[in-house]
Amino acid sequence: MHESDALWICAGPLRRPGGTSLGGGLVATRPQPKLLAQGKPRMLGGATRGWRVRLYAPGSGTNKYQVYFRAPAGEGEPWKRVLRRASSEEEARKIFAQAEAALDTESETPAGADIRASRTIRMLGEEYLADSIERGKQPRTMEGRESRLNAHILPTIGDVPVTKWRVEHSRKVMEKGSKTLFSQRGREDLRGQLAAMRKLAWRLGWLDRSIDPLDGLEIGRANLLHGATAQYVDPRLRPETRQVRAMADAADQLCGLEGTDPLMTRLPLLGTKIRVAGFGGLRLGEQNALRAIDVFFDRGYVHVNGSWITPRGHAGFRGPVKNHTLHEVPLPKSLMHDQLLPRVKELLALPAKASLQQVINAQEAERQRRATLANREKDRNLAWWNYPVPPENELWLFVDTATGLPVKPEMHNERWHRVRKWVEENDPDNAWPKTIVYRNLRHHAATKWFHEELGEPWEVVAQYLGDKLTTVLNHYVRAGEDALRDSVSKLAEL
């Protein structure tokens, strides 16, 4: 028997590709396709004889290249013969190589043309969102990815097969995005999502790795200050300490017991919250998630171990801190003892005259109670700081008095702008510029407070912020800045 007959005998029909019967009778013959390549001999799929993956040139009556191999049909079922067609020899040889690699690694064999055609950018987008969820991305991150997908990517190229995704399609997405995304960061995020989807398509085997649909896709670059990175925060966007204090004092006046506006008094400790942000560098979600048991008065710091998350259309919940990185943040003693201590006493149902030691004992008792409950659970990742408690029963430091829960970001920002306008009108020398947003209190804590006022090195600042050192350096340090400052000082005396 001719060697090329082995595949056909193992795969099913007892007939050569050329049309000659193997049973003795003659049938109409046609030119036999030319064998271009064959793989290594295999005994997979319960075969009694060896077989190979084979690549044939187009035969008579067709212009398609053909790749034959055997593949699993299902759990416990015999392997079936598979035919994959290609319109070019280059494509056929890629299918041939994929089949060989798949059989070597026992992975999924090349899909048929109908399946490849059904794998559109829309389907890839669904896989991308599912993959993001499996990787534990935060709800706010997921909302951004869904928005970019639904607003820019799917309306433009949603029906394009992934195998035919090219750079011209990516350019169309960016052109559509440029009509509604006016910030450099927004355009970078859109391109970044396309890059992530491309990487997933490569990993899933939906797109050949030799094809890069973003190759040649350029977006306008922002002007960079010499010696700075793209993430560098301009010093003008880092508020001064006097401005932070002015904003906090104004919030005390507008939101405290003496306040007259009920919209403002719903956030009674907004001034304290501003100080925690400005002198501790906590993110807004981390500020909202602080509880009475997270404040360590005897050690002088707060334990940052969670974030208040408010997905669109869903109830808020206490989730993990960003990057799942726990960290401790030191706060001024006056802030902890004069402002946080009375609130902790209230939450722990202690009298106003309770001593500091009584507060510490009550805090530790609550931490131990939660730790004991966590030890009874099957989840070994639970501890006192992340043991699940219904939000309405938590010991939140900062709440919206109308709900008893941490304030939603939208309401928080609206109240913040009310305070900013009040300072602008009543204390213009310490006015908070409109170009500086609330989150820039974190920049003040990093540079003006931790690094300059306390003299902490950047490694320590990164620990306090819960960020990587490279991230902090990219945000706040640029080459030559110290030399520039020295030169300015010398020239000021001339």
CATH number of the domain at 131, please.
Answer: 1.10.150
pLDDT of residue 46: 74
Number of domains in the chain: 3
Same domain, 125 and 25: no
Contacts of 81 (CB under 8 A, 6+ apart): 7, 10, 11, 12, 68, 69, 70
Residue 232 gets which letter from DSSP? Answer: P
Of the candidates 122, 139, 142, 198, which has an alpha carbon nearest to the alpha carbon of residue 166? 198
Q: How far apart are CA 22 and CA 18, in angstroms?
A: 11
Same domain, 199 and 246: no
- Tell me the percentage of the chain whose pLDDT exceeds 90: 59
Q: How far apart are CA 65 and CA 261, in angstroms?
A: 78
Same domain, 284 and 336: yes
140 lies in a domain? yes
Please identify, among 188, 204, 220, the residue that sits at the C-terminal boundary of a domain.
Answer: 204
Report the pLDDT averaged over residues 399-424: 95
Could you tell me the two tokens for 404?
Answer: 């008893």
List the strands of the sheet with 327-330, edge to edge.
295-296, 301-304, 327-330
Same domain, 307 and 358: yes
pLDDT of residue 283: 96
CA 235 to chain centre: 27
220 lies in a domain? no
Q: Is 110 exposed, middle or buried (0-12, 13-18, 19+ CB in 10 A)?
A: buried
- Does 256 or 295 have the greater pLDDT score? 295
Domain assignment of residue 280, given as a range: 235-484
Same domain, 194 and 252: no
Which pLDDT band holds residue 14 (cuts at 50, 70, 90)? very low
267 lies in a domain? yes
212 lies in a domain? no
Please identify, among 158, 185, 204, the residue that sits at the C-terminal boundary of a domain.
Answer: 204
Average pLDDT taken over every residue of the chain: 88
Residue 436 gets which letter from DSSP? Answer: S
Per-residue pLDDT reduced to its tens digit, 279-317: 999 999 999 999 999 999 999 999 999 999 998 888 899
Report the pLDDT averaged over residues 245-274: 93
Same domain, 71 and 190: no
Contacts of 425 (CB under 8 A, 6+ apart): none
Which pLDDT band holds residue 6 (cuts at 50, 70, 90)? very low
Of the candidates 186, 192, 138, 141, which has an alpha carbon nearest to the alpha carbon of residue 170? 192
Q: How far apart are CA 91 and CA 113, in angstroms?
A: 12
- Tell me the percentage of the chain whose pLDDT exceeds 70: 90
Q: Is 381 helix (H, G, I), strand (E, B) or coil?
A: coil
Per-residue pLDDT reduced to its tens digit, 58-108: 987 788 999 988 888 777 677 888 888 888 898 889 889 888 888 887 776
Report the pLDDT averaged over residues 354-373: 97
490 lies in a domain? no
458 lies in a domain? yes
Q: β-pairing, 54-56 with 35-38?
A: antiparallel
Per-residue pLDDT reduced to its tens digit, 161-194: 999 999 999 999 999 998 888 778 888 899 999 9
Please state, as a whole number, how many other Cβ atoms lie within 10 Å of the Cβ of residue 457. Answer: 10
Same domain, 174 and 28: no
Q: Do 56 and 17 meet the contact criterion of CB atoms below 8 Å apart? A: yes
Domain at 393, CATH number: 1.10.443.10
Write down the pTM of the prediction: 0.71
Helical segments of 220-327, H only = 241-255, 262-265, 270-280, 284-288
Please identify, among 77, 109, 141, the residue that sits at the C-terminal boundary of a domain.
Answer: 109
Report the pLDDT averaged over residues 122-128: 95
Same domain, 250 and 376: yes
Same domain, 341 and 389: yes
Contacts of 12 (CB under 8 A, 6+ apart): 80, 81
Same domain, 324 and 468: yes
Same domain, 151 and 84: no
Same domain, 292 and 383: yes
Q: Which residues on adjacent β-strands are paired with residue 319? A: 307
306 lies in a domain? yes
270 lies in a domain? yes
Give ∠ CA 113-117-119 in degrees, rounded to 5: 120
